Amino acid sequence: MLDGEPLVRWHWLGDHLGYLAGLTGDHAVIALVPVLIGLLLAVPLGLACTRFPRLYQPVAVVFNVVYALPSLAVFVVLIPYTGLATRETVMVPLTCYALAVLLPTTVDGLRAVPEPVRQAATAMGYGPWHRLAAVELPAAVPYLIAGLRVAAVSSISLAAVGALVGRGGLGYLFVDGFQRTFPTPILAGIVLVALLALVCDLLLVAARRLLAPWATGVAR
């Protein structure tokens, strides 16, 4: 209870189902598109770091520094360039954060392919690109999905902070509830963020079992 206000007003939830669904969809786009972009960038960058090992440490240091920056501060810095209350203001930093998580797992996955396997593929007539697509990337799938699980959950959580700069999906519920001393939307936002993260994680676990059924417990 807060100043006589019940913890949950169930009628408010029932009257705002469409509103909550819209915020959840917006939150999913803001949070998960950067993860997909991060994956698309991490694979070629991870491949380059694997082929040229000296490149990995400098690149990893840069993204680790970016990952250490407070998300709200980065959002504010981007406002003059990407605008206030735009998806880009939130999605650009989230893409960098996702890439900082996915790059190490991509490199680890590509490095985990045994050299005899690569040599056997070459002996069978596989060219570099064919070997990458047919041998190296499938073997790296458990590592990639492990990184995706961390990146997706982190991105879903961080996306809520975007509400402070005008675009944060379910983060609006936290701001609205705090400003009105109204706990119902705050609790609804917490539950929906947790459910969205849980659903994404379960889907990725299912994808790993489908794509790499041999890798049980690899790269948790």
Half-sphere exposure of 141 (CA within 13 A, CB side): 18
Sign of CA dihedral 152, 158, 163, 167: negative
The pLDDT, as a whole number, for residue 2 is: 53
If one compares 114 and 208, the residue with the highest pLDDT of the two is 208
Segment 130-172, tens digit of pLDDT: 777 777 788 888 899 999 999 999 999 999 988 888 787 899 9
Mean pLDDT of the chain: 86
Please state the length of the chain: 220
The pLDDT, as a whole number, for residue 105 is: 92
**Alpha-carbon distance 86 to 84, whole Å?**
6
Find out whether 174 and 186 touch, Cβ atoms under 8 Å. yes
Segment 17-72, tens digit of pLDDT: 999 999 999 999 999 999 999 999 999 999 899 888 889 889 889 888 888 888 88
Give the contacts of 161 (CB within 8 A, at least 6 positions apart). 71, 72, 75, 168, 171
pLDDT (average), residues 76-86: 84
pTM given for the model = 0.86
Largest separation between any pair of C-alpha atoms in the chain: 75
Give the number of other CB atoms < 10 A from CB of residue 71: 20
Question: H or E stretch including 213?
Answer: none
